[in-house]
Structure 1
C-alpha cells in the first residue's frame, strides 16, 4: 500500500512539530511564562490555597473552550486507557448491543454469546425499562449503555418488557468484555455480511480474516455495515478502503508544507466483489473515510441515513502529568476534494428503519428477488424473508379495515419514501412502479394514473398508514391477512 509511508510520515511530522514548539515556548515565549507565573501565584498566594490539580484542570478547560472544537479534549491517564480499550471493543458490562426503538424506548438488538446478558437470559427484542430502579424512558441508547457499564463483578438489575408479558427484573453480573471489532456471517443467497463496530489496533487483521472466510461463498456480494461506528484509528479504515479499490483517491490531507495531498488507492485491490454499505447518523470519522472513499469512487452504494459529519483527524499527545491531549491536527477531505465536516455523507438510498437496512443491502445486490414480509397486527415483531424483525410498528385497525405503517413497509422492500411538501404527498417505487399518494385525500396514483381509490391513508402521531386495499392495488395482489397477521409479497 504505497500511500502508507505518506500517511505515517505526515502524522509523525505533526507530532514532532508539536513537541519542538512546546520546548521552545517553555523557555522563551512570554505567553507561556505568563501562564506559568499566573498558575504559581494562584496556588501559592491566593488566601484559599486552591487545589493545584483543580487549578490546572481549570486552565486546560479554558484553553480548550477557546477552540470550540468538541474533538480536542484532555483525558486523565485513566480516561485515556478507557478510550483506547473502547477502540478495541473492550469494556466491563453486560455484553449486549442497544438501539433506540421507534417508540422512544431502548431496545436490545443483539446479545453476544457467552456474555453476562446471555447467561442472565436477556434476548434481542427486550425493551429496557429501568436499570437499578432508574427509569430509562427518554434516554438515548448510548446513555443507557453507559449506565449498564461498570466495574467487573458488580451486579445490575435490568427491568425489561418482552412482548405482551408483564415487565420483569433480571439481575446481571458485569464482566470484563472483550469483543471483536469485526463480525461476519453468511446471509444466504450468495451474500455475506461484515460489520465493523470500531477501528482499533486489531481491526485490519480481523477484517481480512473475516473477509477471507466469506469470499468464496459471497458470490453475489457483501453487505458492509458501518452503522454505529464512531471511528477510531485512520489506518485500518484506509487499508480496508484500499482493499476494495484499484484506482482513485482515498482521502485528501495536508502535506508538510500545508498544501493538499491526495492519498490514492493502489492497483492491488479488488473491484470484483459487489458491495452495499450501511450507514447511519452515528457513522463518523474513520468510518466516514471508508464509506466516503467507496461512494466517491462509485464502488458501492450507501444505504441508510445521513452520517455524522466529522472531517478532522486527532493525534494523542502525552503530557508531563500523565494525562493525554487528544488534539485535532488536520482537516481531511473526500477523494474528490469535498469536506464532510458538519455535513456528513448523503446516502444513495435513504432509509430510516434500522431493522430492515440489512435486507435493503441484500436487495441492492440482488434486485428483482421475491420478498415476503409478515407483520403481526399487534406489532412489535415481524418476519422479512425468513428473518425476525424487531421494533415493528403496530398496524392500525379502523372501521374493520387494516392500515399498514407506510414508510416501514416500503423501506422493508428496499425502497426510499420521499415526502413532497408542495403537493403534501409521498412518492416511492415498488415492483418497478412509481407510486404517489396524496396524504390529504388519500388518492393513490400508479405511474401517474389515478387508481380511483380515495381515503386510503391515515395519519396518527406523525405516522402515515396505508390501507391494505391500496397496497394490493399497487402490488397487483400479493397481500393477504392470515392468523392475526398481514403477509405481503413483492419483487
Structure 2
C-alpha cells in the first residue's frame, strides 16, 4: 500500500498536478521560481522524491526521474552537497548510460540550466554565461575524445564565432583588414608584426617585420585580450580606417590604414622577383623548381596550376613540393592538387557512416615528365597528408623529411542554433591508394604504422632547435638571403641532392 501511495504522489508531481492555488514543483523547477513561499513546496517535493528513491519496489524509470528531480530541487534550495550526492548516486545506480539518458532525457535541459544559474549566482567570482556554455560544450567533447578508439583529443572541437571566422578566412583565402600577420613576443608580451602581406594596406604604408604594436586607434590592447583582441580591433569593413601606433627600435610611428580585401596566397616560391612575382626556380643551373604550399584553401589548385604552367614553360627538370608545416584544409582542393600530378588511379578513398567513395585521377591537366620530391615534417597534416600519400603510393615523388602528423579524418562544421559557435565533427576517414589509413590512433607509439613516412634513406629529422630555426626563417613573407643563410635546411639539401643526381 505504501509503495502505491508513493508512486501516486510521485506521478502527481511529475504531471504537474498540485494543490489548489499553488504552482507544482515541476513548474517551479522549469520556470526557476524560488521564494520563501515556494521553498516549502520544493522541500515537500524533495521528501517525496527521496521516498521514491529509497523504495526498493518502485519502478526503476520512476526512481531515475525522482533521483534527477531530487538533485534539481536541492540545487534550487541551495543545498549543493545533497544535490551532488543525488546526481552522483543516479549515475552509480544506473551504469547503463543509454538507458539512463532515455529515462531522464527530457529533464536534462532543466538540469543544465539550473547548474548554470547556480554557478552564476553563487560562484566565488563573477562568471560569463557564454563562457560557461562554451566550457560545458568543450567538456562534453573532451569526454567523447577520451573514450579512445578512432579519435584523439582535439579531433573534435567546439569553435566559438571568432574561431569559425578565422578558419573561414584560411579556407576562403580572403580577409577584410590591413594584411599583417601578428604574433605575441613571449619574452615581452608585445604584439609583433611578423610580416605585412604583399600589396596589402600594411605593406603599401611601409610597415616592417618586427614592428611592435603599441596602440590601435589610440588605445592600448588590454593584456588579457592579447593577440585575439588585436586581430579583432584591426580587422573591419572594407573602406574603414584604423590607426596603428608601432614601435620600431627607438622610434614611435603612426600609420593610418584603410582596410581592404586582402587576398591570402597559399602557394609561395623561394623569393620575390623584382617585378613582385614569386620566383619558383631554386636551382637555375639544373632547372629545379620549388613550390611551397602553406595550407590547402579554395584557391590553392588554381594557384598551384599557375605556378606549374610557368615552370613547365621554362622547361624544368625537377620539382620540390614543400608541404612542411602545412596543417591541411579542404578535402576537395587536396584531391584537385594531387590530381595535377597523377595521371590515373585512386587518389584517396573516403569512408563514413553513409558508405565510401574513391576519388580517381584524370589524365587531363596532369603535369609530368620531371622527377619530384615532397618535403614533409611532423606538422604536415590532414589534407596535406592526402597529397603526400597519393604521390608516394603512385611513385610520383620521393618523400623526404619526417613522418607526418597522422590525421586521417575528414571534419565538417555544424553551426549551433544558439549562435554561440559551431561543432567541428569527424564525419569520415580517408585511406591512401594502398588502402592504409594513416591516422595516429590513441595509444599509438612511434613503433606503430601511422602517418606518411619518408622513403627509405630519405628520413631527415630536425631537432627541436632546428624546427624553431626553420619556422623563423619561413615566417617572413619574403625571407631575406641573410635570414635563410642563418639556417641550414638539411631536408631541402637532401631534396636538391636527389634531383641533381637524376638523369
Q: TM-score range by the shorter chain?
A: 0.5 to 0.7
2:343–2:361 contact (8 Å) kept in structure 1: yes
Report the counterpart of residue 428 of structure 2 in structure 1: 330
SS at match of 2:375: strand
Instruction: Give the alignment of 1:422-441 within 5 angstroms.
Output: none
SS at match of 1:84: helix
Report the counterpart of residue 414 of structure 2 in structure 1: 317
Report the counterpart of residue 372 of structure 1 in structure 2: none
SS at match of 1:331: strand
Structure with higher helix content: 2
Report the counterpart of residue 346 of structure 1 in structure 2: 453
**Structure 1 residues 175 and 354: CA distance shift in structure 2, 3 A:** farther
Whichever of the two has the greater Rg, that structure is 2
Report the counterpart of residue 450 of structure 1 in structure 2: none
Gaps of 5+ in 2: 1-97, 121-127, 146-152, 269-277, 442-449, 472-478
CA distance in structure 1 between the partners assigned to 2:492 and 2:300 by the alignment = 32
Structure 1 residue 66 displacement after superposition: 0.7
Instruction: Give the alignment of 1:336-485 within 5 angstroms.
Output: 336=434, 337-341=436-440, 344-347=451-454, 348=458, 350=460, 352=462, 388-390=481-483, 392-393=485-486, 408=487, 411=490, 414-415=493-494
Give TM-score scaled by structure 1 length: 0.54
**Structure 1 residues 176 and 111: CA distance shift in structure 2, 3 A:** same
Query: Deviation string for 1:82-110 (max 9, x for gaps)?
Result: 32123223345553567999x99999775
Structure 1 residue 236 displacement after superposition: 0.7
Report the counterpart of residue 84 of structure 1 in structure 2: 168
Q: Choose which of 318, 327, 332 in structure 2 pairs with 1:235.
A: 332
1:60 partnered with 2:144: no
Report the counterpart of residue 376 of structure 2 in structure 1: 279
**Structure 1 residues 197 and 256: CA distance shift in structure 2, 3 A:** same
Structure with higher strand content: 1
1:191–1:218 contact (8 Å) kept in structure 2: no
1:284–1:309 contact (8 Å) kept in structure 2: yes
SS at match of 2:425: strand
**Structure 1 residues 392 and 157: CA distance shift in structure 2, 3 A:** farther
SS at match of 1:232: coil
CA distance in structure 2 between the partners assigned to 1:243 and 1:181 by the alignment = 19
**Structure 1 residues 338 and 311: CA distance shift in structure 2, 3 A:** closer
Structure 1 residue 237 displacement after superposition: 0.3
CA distance in structure 2 between the partners assigned to 1:159 and 1:304 by the alignment = 38
SS at match of 2:321: strand
Report the counterpart of residue 113 of structure 2 in structure 1: 43
Of 260-269 and 47-56, deviating more is 47-56
CA distance in structure 2 between the partners assigned to 1:108 and 1:391 by the alignment = 19
Aligned length: 337
Q: Choose which of 121, 125, 128 in structure 1 pairs with 2:206.
A: 121
Structure 1 residue 317 displacement after superposition: 2.1
Gaps of 5+ in 1: 1-27, 137-142, 161-165, 359-383, 394-407, 417-427, 433-491
Q: Choose which of 95, 101, 118 in structure 1 pairs with 2:179.
A: 95
SS at match of 1:414: helix
Give TM-score scaled by structure 2 length: 0.53
**Structure 1 residues 249 and 146: CA distance shift in structure 2, 3 A:** farther
**Structure 1 residues 306 and 271: CA distance shift in structure 2, 3 A:** same
Of 349-358 and 150-159, deviating more is 349-358
Task: Provide the aligned C-alpha RMSD in A.
Answer: 4.8
1:309–1:345 contact (8 Å) kept in structure 2: yes
